[in-house]
Amino acid sequence: MKRRDLLEMTTILGLSASLPRTAFSAEPTDSAGNTAAPAMVSAPLRPPVEGSIPVAFLISDGAVVIDFAGPWEVFEHAYLPERAGHADHGRTPAFSLYTVAETTRPVRASGGMTIVPAYSLASAPRPKVVVIPAQSEPSDAVLAWVRDVSRTTDVTMSVCTGAFLLARTGLLAGKPVTTHHSVYAELAMAFPDIQVKRGARFVESGNLASAGGLSSGIDLALRVVERYFGRSSAAQTADVLEYQGLGWMNPDSNNVYAKHRISTAEHPLCAVCEMDVDARAAPTSVYRGKTYYFCMDAHKKLFDANPTHFADRLQRSESSG
């Protein structure tokens, strides 16, 4: 999925949740105007005495492949550690994986990949881990399913803008969450009752967890392996995958995205997502005598719905920068 497609899809989700509201909330910030990534505090998880851990990958049209394929490969290549009296455990899969969608009709994922879900919401086995990638707007039935299974999951995790779906369930109210760095502001405005963490590779809160953009899901999946089976098992899984990233050991490793980027006349940025824009062709709005640029019309619409929020945030960023 191209970046513009990703942003447009998540903007639709954000707008649908945020525009009817009469009040908006800025992201919680420190004195410099940035949110700090949380420390890793989640407790170890207890694997079952026998059998593998069921992992459901919730998908729909538009599901972003790396968001679910990255964690899929991590869980596929994790094996149960050897145990006394169970010599075969060293090659026994630690997780059993399956796809779930509202129905079992083929799903068209990013880039045109077609997937036939293994289960519908009604027929899916009850999971202990749920992976929610970026995807199309969820139905009420999908949200109800996530709420229901999350009552008994060890981990319900979103990847990238899958955080919008998880937030829409209401389960994240009052809790920290992260997402792709281009939609921090949209997520905070759409759901004022959650704490959007900038610069976090992943965030954990009880049995809920969220990864940053795209490849961050690999790190969160490795972190889940670590919580079940220890750091050595997670490191072995990463080695099998020839994955050299160390973000799964450090949630602060997305810190490059913690600070707001500053828009200038020479290098204008979208006032909503802080991505580069072409000033000659970009949509614009004028507020308090200042021109603001946008990477797409949907972001202009979001800005125009509450310009004070964005203008004040950008002013704080410029002052602290």
Q: What are the structural domain ranges in the chain?
A: 3-257, 260-321
pLDDT at 310: 86
Q: Which residue has the tokens 């509202």?
A: 102
Nearest-angstrom CA–CA distance, 146 and 132: 9
Nearest-angstrom CA–CA distance, 321 and 107: 44
pLDDT at 6: 55
Nearest-angstrom CA–CA distance, 194 and 95: 30
Structure token pair of residue 169: 């369930």
Give the closest residue to 100 by CA, choosing from 32, 28, 153: 153
Residue 147: enclosing H or E segment and its boundaries?
helix 140-149
pLDDT at 5: 57
pLDDT at 41: 61
Structure token pair of residue 58: 């919730």
pLDDT at 28: 42
Strand 290-293 relative to strand 284-287, pairing: antiparallel
pLDDT at 15: 45
Considering the segment(s) 260-321 as one domain, its CATH architecture is Roll (2.30)
| Mean pLDDT split into 10-residue runs, the chain, 321 residues | 52 44 37 44 88 97 98 97 57 95 98 98 98 97 98 98 98 97 90 95 97 97 97 96 96 90 89 90 94 92 89 78 57
Nearest-angstrom CA–CA distance, 266 and 264: 5
**Domain range 3-257, CATH class:** alpha beta
Q: DSSP string of 83-111? A: BTTBGGGGGSBSEEEEEEESSSS-EE-GG
pLDDT at 90: 59
